[in-house]
Amino acid sequence: MQTAARGKQQLLPPAKGRFVLFTFIASLMFNLLPWQGVGLMLRPDMVALVLIYWCIHQPRLVGMGAAWLLGLMLDVADGMLLGQSALAYTLLAFAALLLRRRILQFPLGQQALHILPLLLLLQFAMLGIKLAAGSSFAGWGYFLASFAGALLWPVVASLLMLSQRREIKSEPSIQTGLK
């Protein structure tokens, strides 16, 4: 996998499955924290950010099946309509897999501009399902979490990328006896 970090292309080794699982569990715990007020409105969907990251960087390991399972777990944990998050996360994973090569061409700051529409897609899908189920629209503040998530993307991606980085040992220079 290649990533455009700090202006140069870098080949990253594949992530270990245990680490990917740990990041999903940690992001689920973050989403299940008891948020209130403005914090709830600004809380980025950490599961979505981690899902996007792994769909982009490890598409053979994480895909729409993982998105569906994560969504079902969130539906059960939050007591939402069963399948609401599952469908929305599956759409998100599909879009991330579809756009992964394009997103990887940009540095992390510019990737955030591509992540924002993906997060908005997730929220529009969840809102559409809620409206179809009879809920009412709470206002445009509902979409602030997508903007917070896009701003947080470089930090999340950098932290997840740390697990894949290895120190590159420089080869000793070859000195010839020629003058």
**Which comes out higher in pLDDT, residue 64 or 5?**
64
Helix (H) or strand (E) holding 5: strand 2-5
Q: How far apart are CA 177 and CA 179, in angstroms?
A: 7
The whole domain housing 73 covers 16-162
Q: Which of 14-23, 25-34, 42-51 has the lowest mean pLDDT?
A: 14-23
Alpha helices in 79-169 (DSSP H): 84-104, 108-132, 144-162
Predicted pLDDT of residue 10: 64
Q: Does residue 148 form part of some domain?
A: yes
Report the number of distinct structural domains present in the chain: 1
pLDDT tens digits along 137-175: 888 888 999 999 999 999 999 999 987 765 445 555 555
Q: Does residue 133 form part of some domain?
A: yes
**CA angle (22 as vertex; 87, 121 as ends), nearest 5:** 25
Q: Does residue 22 form part of some domain?
A: yes
Q: Does residue 168 form part of some domain?
A: no
Q: Report pTM.
A: 0.84
Q: Does residue 33 form part of some domain?
A: yes
Predicted pLDDT of residue 38: 87
Q: Does residue 157 form part of some domain?
A: yes
Sequential DSSP letters for 36-65:
-HHHHHH---HHHHHHHHHHHH-TTTSSHH
Q: Does residue 173 form part of some domain?
A: no
pLDDT tens digits along 76-135: 998 888 999 999 999 999 999 999 999 999 999 999 999 999 999 999 999 999 999 998
Q: Does residue 68 form part of some domain?
A: yes
**Predicted confidence band of residue 12 (pLDDT cuts 50, 70, 90):** confident
